[in-house]
Every structure is written in C-alpha cells, then in structure tokens.
Amino acid sequence: MSHGRASFGSKIGMILATAGGAVGLGNVWRFPYMTGENGGAAFILVYLCCVFVLGIPCMISEFIIGRHGSANTYRAFAKLSPRGSWKLVGLMGVLTGYLITGYYAVVSGWCLQYVYASVMGELKGNPDYVLHYFQSFSSNPIRPVFWTVAILLLAHFIIIHGIRGGIEKASKLLMPTLFILLLVIVGASLLLPNAGKGVEFLLKPDFGRVDRNVFLGALGQSFYSLSIAMGCMCTYASYYSRSVNLLNSSLQIAAIDTFVAILAGLMIFPAAFSVGVNPGSGPSLIFITLPNVFNQAFSGMPMVGWLVSLMFYTLLALAALTSLMSLHEVSTAFIYEELHISRKRGAVMVTVTTCIIGAFCSLSLGAVDFLSFGGKSLFDWFDFVTGQIFLPVGGLLTCLFLGWFVPRQIVRDEFTNWGTVSRRFFGLYLFLVRYFCPLAILAILLHQFSVI
C-alpha cells in the first residue's frame, strides 16, 4: 500500500500542533517547582539561556531530519544514513515515544479522574481526606486503568483522522482552550489575599543559589520540556512544507512552551502561598496539595473554588492529551509506514498495546505486588529508563549524527530553505550542535547518575 505524504494545512495549525506536543504536565508542575527551589527569576534566566543554546538547536536538528526524510522518525534517519547504523537512533526515538505513551497515559488518566471528581464535588474535605482520596484511587485496580484507557481512546480518535482532520484540527481547538483556562486561573490566583508572596517566591531572583546543579537542572528541564529525542518533533516535522522557516518555528514553539510554564507558576504559587501551603513536587503537588489549596483559598466562595478546581484539572487533561496524541503519532506513523498498512490499523495496534502497558504500569502502583522489583514499580522503571537513559542518549546521538555525519550541504539547505532564508545564524547553530549540545547532554546524563 502506498501512502501520499500528509502535511499541515496552515502555519498556525502547524505551530499549535508542535507546541502542543511540547506542552505537557511537566510544564505545570516541574518547571514552577524547579524555579521556586532554584533561585526564582535567576533560574528562569538560566533556563532561557539553556533553551536558546541547547533546546532550540536540538529541536532544529530534529526538524531537519524529519522534514528531509518526509517519513517516520526511523525512516527519516535511515534516508540520511542508508548504509550506516544511525537509523537505530531513529528507532530508539520511536521506542522511547512508544514506551512513554504507555506510562504517561496513566498520569494523564488521573487528570480525567480529577475532572470527574471536581464535577461531582468529591475533592472537598480536610487534608487527610484529600491525601487518602489520591492514595485510594491511584492504588485501585480498576478506576485508574479505566481512565488510562479512556484518554488513550481520545488520542486514538484524533490520530485516526489524520494530520489535518485530526491532529491539526484538534490542536486548533485544544491549545486556545488551554490558554484561556490558564489565564483565567492565573487571574483568580493573583486576586487571592497575600498572592504577592507567591509571585515573589517564583520571580524574585536569588543569584546566590545559582550553582552547578542549577545549571544542570535548567539544561535538563529545557531538554525535556521541549520533547527532544521522543520522536515527536522529528515526526511532526515530516509533515512540514518546504517553505517552513525552521529557525523561526523553533523560536515560536519554545516561546509558547516557556510562556505556558511561567504562567503555570503564576497559577500555582500565589494560590499556595495565600493559604500558607508549601507546595511539593510531582504528583503530590497536582493531586494532593492543590485540592487542599483550592479548598482553603476559596473556602468562603465554594462555587468559585469548585469552578477553579474544575478548570484546573480540565487544563491538566488538555495539556496531557496534546502531548499524548503527539507521542501516539510517533508510533502510529512508524507502524503504518513500515508495515504498509492503513493509518487506522496502525493506530489500533498502538492504542491496544499501549493500553496494556498503561494497565500494567497503573497496577504496579499499589494494586498488585509482583509488578514491582528492584525497589521500583513498573511505572517507575518506565519513567527511569526513558527519562534518564533513552532521552539523553538519543539526544546526544542525534546531535552527533547531524553535526558530524550528515553532509553539511544538506544541513545548510534545510536550515536556509535552499537559500531563501538568511544563513546568518547557521554557523552558530552548527557550532552548538557539534560541540556545546553534545557536551551539555553528556553532563546531564552523567549528573543523573551522580558521576559529576
């Protein structure tokens, strides 16, 4: 079966879809928490520098490989390395995206459960009740699996409708809705008493706390926040037209991603500090701390608290879905193009198998004991292997491949759109990809294992 290559129908659709692939749950809790704990505005400045010197060059590299190959991530690498083994880097990107799809859907499903719980008013109670609610739900053998499958089916429904009728159309609806919800909740948060303390916690620079660990943390956050080495950027770029300015597009996507992350901090910390709650990180922030914050901050206005809670978890679910559908597309494109089957059949294969992975990862979080080993649950192992090994290794190899092994003429032609775009920054880009990015990613990788 032959496939006519699809493409995005508009520039705004392309930007929103690609930005949606980058914007996810990490923007909502990881970036604000790291900012507050690592010098406030000082960390933001370091992070922005890292986005420019690491994140954007890596993103452009994936764009070049994807657009040049006009195929799934594996085949795009193979076209640039027909007789070499570099195509295995593309295969690693596909595998990484596939594995992340399975366990990321678990947390994404939690967001749907909390949307339902907000609607039904189930999150009202004292802190002990909220803690018990999360622990009881996350370790339940049925409910988390149900919501995991539900959000994967939502992503599946979008994917089977293709690029323009599915991903682009959904992104044009989901991303503006996400922004509107985010701005409304930020406004409500900033109007709370003592909200200024939260803004100060987030944005007041404390350069005395900026050390090597802060720089490495900012490097890692810029890398993960932009969805580098998951196959998402490469796969989406395969649907770009030849007229797309890759440098400008990467700048716009990075700006949207960072803007959402900073707004998330302005949403969370003023509300938390207005009631004297010290925000934690990870699931405890999203599913335990914030319900308590909403209950206390809006105790005199229960309907407002109910509405803010509902909007917040709807926002989370939308952010999770936009990332999930981009991850799903990575595997779907690979399967239907390599097996020469229809997009729908390829999507079904991805959805069914990731539902199984997600179910086992969910069950490992307390429902059954045999899915935990080596001191980690199956969910934690998926997170560890993909996040701390596959992502940095894949990013490192991608930079080495494009910087040293892909013919310079191909890289320059793609970067400059065959001479129609200024090549002013091409030398800087190539220097960063060849030297700085590999060293920075290597530092992240070694730091994760406490080698440096």
Question: What are the residue ranges spanned by the domains of the chain?
Answer: 11-448
Q: Does domain 11-448 have CATH number 2.20.200?
A: no
- Tens of pLDDT, residues 79-119: 999 888 899 999 999 999 999 999 999 999 999 999 999 99
Closest CA to 210 of 359, 49, 339, 364: 49
253 Cβ neighbours under 8 A, 6+ residues apart:
15, 18, 19, 22, 59, 226
- State how far the Cα of 252 lies from the Cα of 254, in Å rounded to an integer: 6
Share of residues in the chain with pLDDT > 70 (%): 97
> Would you give the DSSP letter of residue 376?
E
Mean pLDDT of 186-202: 89
Taking 80 as the threshold, does the pLDDT of residue 288 lie above it? Answer: yes
pLDDT score for 32:
81
Closest CA to 328 of 304, 298, 358, 296: 358
Mean pLDDT of 12-38: 86
pLDDT score for 428:
96
Taking 90 as the threshold, does the pLDDT of residue 65 lie above it? Answer: yes
Number of H helices, E strands in the chain: 22, 2
- Of 37-41, 145-149, 185-189, 308-312, the least confident: 37-41
- Tens of pLDDT, residues 347-382: 999 999 999 999 999 999 988 888 888 989 999 999
- Of 164-178, 205-219, 310-324, 386-400, the least confident: 205-219
- State how far the Cα of 428 lies from the Cα of 439, in Å rounded to an integer: 16
> Would you give the DSSP letter of residue 386?
I
* Whole-structure pTM value: 0.93
Taking 80 as the threshold, does the pLDDT of residue 282 lie above it? Answer: no
Is residue 351 within 8 A of residue 153, CB to CB? The reply is yes
The mean of the pLDDT values for the chain is: 91
- State how far the Cα of 208 lies from the Cα of 335, in Å rounded to an integer: 50
Band of residue 281 on the pLDDT scale cut at 50, 70, 90: low
Q: With helix as H, strand as E and coil as C, how does 57-87 read? A: HHHHHHHHHHHHHCCCHHHHHHHHCCCCCCH
Taking 80 as the threshold, does the pLDDT of residue 67 lie above it? Answer: yes
pLDDT score for 3:
47
The end-to-end CA distance of the chain, in Å, is 51
Mean pLDDT of 113-140: 92
- Tens of pLDDT, residues 145-169: 999 999 999 999 999 999 999 999 9
Taking 60 as the threshold, does the pLDDT of residue 441 lie above it? Answer: yes
pLDDT score for 217:
84
Taking 50 as the threshold, does the pLDDT of residue 2 lie above it? Answer: no
Burial of 205 (0-12, 13-18, 19+ CB in 10 A): middle
